[in-house]
Amino acid sequence: MKTKEIIGANIRTERERQGLSREQVCGLESELTVRQLMRIELGQSLPTIVKLEYLADRLKVDMASLLGEQSLEIPQAYFEQKYKLIKFPSYGDAERLAQKTQLLEDIYNQYFDYLPEEELFTLDLLENFLDYITVGKPESVELIYEDFFKQLLLKETYSLNDILLARHYLTQCQDYAYDRETVLLIVDRLLKQRTGSNDYYNLALLGALFALAGVYVVSADYSDMKPALDKMDDVVNQTMQHVYKPGLLMFEAKYHLYQRHNFQKAKSCYDLALTLAENFGDTVLIDNLKKEKAKDLQEKEE
């Protein structure tokens, strides 16, 4: 049996020995839902340490008795792969997207049985986002993750998975008509999020803010763009993720060009963005910046 199946069986055996229903164990479902407990007991989901501690407390047993001889420790190599998956920028390049898709497949093959539900949800969000970027999946994120999306609109503080969901939605808004009130609500939440020691979260937040800037560009709604640019600049500086500075400068160039009508400022932003990209040696980014610069500045000169 797999680790998650053994732990799930231990939990179910102890619950049934005490004559408790899943509903009784979960109570108000604020810590653990009945559906989550069912998936854990059936060996479909590995519980996190927090959930296992909750179950041990509710069942009045030691956590070790639920674990048996199993370990919930996730291999360090998984986190290294996850970091590459979230940080590695594709800039729409087909070869890089294929590399990210292969990396995701490798992670599933190597670590699926070791991962709790939250980590599997992260991978699912990343997989669906990649599918959308590469093949243009038509199904909306609001339908794919209906319950989670509803929760997203109610939350004040976002988790990593919330940020990834917001990024997917905003990227989708660049291609299809969207509800302005929904976007404004998500924007309000994103601008209030704080960076921390979690690099995955910080990188995802930058990704969501870049997606938001893309919405403003596609809809030519530059009047509301400045707060997002300021937030992006804050996150880049606070997290020392300077590799994202060229992309930020590109959006700043567009803002100065189309909102402030300052051609020289826009040109200087593009020039600095290209200088930084050349220092980073990212040929895909350099090509993209050159195309955007030529299109924007030539269009404005005409």
Average pLDDT of the chain to the nearest whole number? 93
pLDDT band at 253 (very low <50, low <70, confident <90, very high): very high
Q: Tell me: the pLDDT tens digits for 158-192?
A: 999 999 999 999 999 999 888 999 999 999 999 99
116 — phi, psi (to 5°)? -75, 170
Torsion of CA 46, 48, 49, 52, to 10 degrees: -60
The candidate with the shortest Cα–Cα distance to 130, out of 78, 79, 92, 75, is 92
Coil, strand, or helix at residue 72?
A: coil
Burial tier of 268 (Cβ tally within 10 Å: 0-12, 13-18, 19+) = middle
Place of tokens 């660049």: 174
| C-beta atoms surrounding 100 within 10 Å | 22
98/81 Cα distance (integer angstroms): 15
43/186 Cα distance (integer angstroms): 35
166/152 Cα distance (integer angstroms): 8
Q: What is the DSSP letter of 174?
A: T
Place of tokens 């299109």: 295
Half-sphere exposure (Cβ direction) of 129: Cα atoms closer than 13 Å: 26
pLDDT at 65 over 90: no
Q: Tell me: the pLDDT tens digits for 130-157?
A: 999 988 766 789 999 998 999 999 999 9
107 alpha carbon, distance to own chain's centre: 16
46 — phi, psi (to 5°)? -90, 125
pLDDT at 69 over 80: no
Q: What is the DSSP letter of 27?
A: T
**Contact by Cβ (8 Å): 56, 62:** yes
Mean pLDDT lowest among 13-22, 134-143, 180-189, 222-231: 134-143
**Share above pLDDT 70 across residues of the chain, in percent, rounded to a whole number:** 98
pLDDT band at 299 (very low <50, low <70, confident <90, very high): low
Cross-strand partners of 46: 116
Q: Which two tokens stand for residue 38?
A: 């069912």
